A and B are shown apart, each in its own frame.
Chain A
């Protein structure tokens, strides 16, 4: 239901994505893994058009957009596709001047024009889901990193996106706080939320993802079910990378 076809992204002379094609099934969790600079973050940001692909085709549900070099995409089309997505950032990026619940309500009230009371109800339900209802009126600055990220997940889910995009959602957190976030994302996955996550966190990727896409130097080196790619990777490049990840995580190889 999400289709990326032949996606290229160029920053000046630097070709960051070299024709990436990935299909993501509804209800599945896909982990984008690979070395830094390999293009996984850029690919993720191409899905909600924080980066506009230089060329290629993007489909989310029934909405499709074509990109060609030198042709500007209409702002209206960008927003139409973006509204099908929610995003969780590495550094949370909660709005610091709004309370936790106001952060979750913001998209519903400002963008979707929901009445405030209805938005508050939905926001509260989402905060309960991520275990943050008791901090609904707290300012983000008073929350721990893990708590902020859970509120950010609720904010991203508020407009009922077709897909939740997570850009290194646990990298800014120590292992204990990362665990709360892994737990919440795991619960969402088991409820059938479609997710795509760029991550270095083996625990996050191996625990939650069914599909793994290994990206290096802007191309898909290997993709397949997580159980296969993590245990018996086909390519040398993937083997080496997964070995380092396991070493970092302190797992026996």
Chain B
């Protein structure tokens, strides 16, 4: 067996383990919380009172306009200066959640706005309240529009979790770095890490396609080709 293959196979369990206990949970949790933050932010920006709209706008402006790596450094290395000490994982989780929330709020805002006004009126005309109309009529249709751009954000997030290595989170990329430190084989280990990220995002792309087909089953303008 060639040396490079041997090294890849030997390191594979370590990398997979790091992916399983850190990369995947960090991705899923940040995306779930981020999506919730994004929905709330989008609803505030569309329907909230003016002062709250300004706060939401400010939040999106800050988190979209500054580098994710800088945000992570500020939370993990910066906040202790004002007495807020966070472990690496929660610091990363907070950073990713806030970042995802800012991006997805724009996607959700646009998706809700894309549902024709007539759908609101149809919902109201059969007696629905605002929240019933939102839940039963608007969000399901907005969801379909939002899935492709949200999937984009999700796939970016999987890869961006590697940035957490810089704030000492022992995720997959950091596991690769540690092995490089002892084996001096950066090419082999980083190729291996890249392939594993590629595999993760490929799985997500496949799931996205299935979800789109399901959401498009009622026909209309977004014909997915599976």
Give residues in A with beta carbon < 8 Å to B.
48, 50, 75, 79, 82-83, 85-87, 89, 91, 93-99, 106-107, 110-112, 139-142, 155-156, 158-159
B140-A82 in contact (CB<8A) = no
| Inter-chain contacts of B217 with A (CB < 8 A) | 139
**Known contacts A89-B118, A91-B118, A93-B118; A158 and B126 CB within 8 A of each other:** yes
B127-A107 in contact (CB<8A) = yes
B125-A110 in contact (CB<8A) = no
- Kindly name the residue among A75, A82, A95, A107 whose own CB sees the greatest number of chain B CB atoms within 10 A: A95
Q: List 27 A-B contacts (CB under 8 A).
A: A50-B121, A50-B125, A75-B129, A75-B130, A79-B127, A82-B127, A87-B121, A89-B121, A89-B125, A91-B118, A93-B118, A95-B119, A96-B141, A97-B140, A99-B218, A106-B126, A106-B136, A107-B126, A107-B128, A111-B126, A111-B128, A139-B219, A141-B219, A141-B220, A155-B126, A156-B126, A159-B126
**B61 in the interface, Cβ–Cβ < 8 Å?**
no
Contact of B125 among A85, A91, A97 (CB under 8 A): A85
A112 to B128, CA, bound (A): 9
A50 to B218, CA, bound (A): 28
A87-B122, A110-B128 are known; give 20 further A-B pairs, CB within 8 A: A50-B124, A50-B125, A79-B129, A82-B124, A83-B127, A89-B121, A91-B118, A95-B137, A97-B140, A99-B218, A106-B136, A107-B128, A110-B132, A111-B132, A141-B218, A141-B219, A155-B126, A156-B126, A158-B126, A159-B126
Q: Write the chain A residue with the least CB distance to B137.
A: A95
Contact of A156 among B118, B125, B129, B219 (CB under 8 A): B125
**Known contacts A106-B126, A139-B218; A93 and B132 CB within 8 A of each other:** no
Per DSSP, are chain B's interface residues mostly helix, strand or loop, or mixed? Answer: helix
**Known contacts A89-B121, A93-B118, A111-B132; A142 and B126 CB within 8 A of each other:** no
Q: Which 8 pairs show the lowest CB-CB distances between chains A and B? A: A107-B126, A141-B219, A93-B122, A87-B125, A111-B127, A139-B218, A93-B118, A83-B127
A131 to B69, CA, bound (A): 62
A96 to B141, CA, bound (A): 8
Q: Mark B143-170, 1 if CB is under 8 A from A, else 0.
A: 0100000000000000000000000000
Contact of A89 among B122, B130, B136, B144 (CB under 8 A): B122
A82-B220 in contact (CB<8A) = no
B126-A86 in contact (CB<8A) = yes
A142 to B218, CA, bound (A): 9
| Inter-chain contacts of A97 with B (CB < 8 A) | 140-141, 144, 218
| Inter-chain contacts of B116 with A (CB < 8 A) | 93
A99 to B217, CA, bound (A): 11
Q: How far is the CB of B136 from chain A (nearest CB, A)?
A: 6
| Inter-chain contacts of A159 with B (CB < 8 A) | 126-127
B122-A95 in contact (CB<8A) = yes
Q: Write the chain A residue with the least CB distance to B219.
A: A141
A192 to B116, CA, bound (A): 33
| Inter-chain contacts of A112 with B (CB < 8 A) | 127
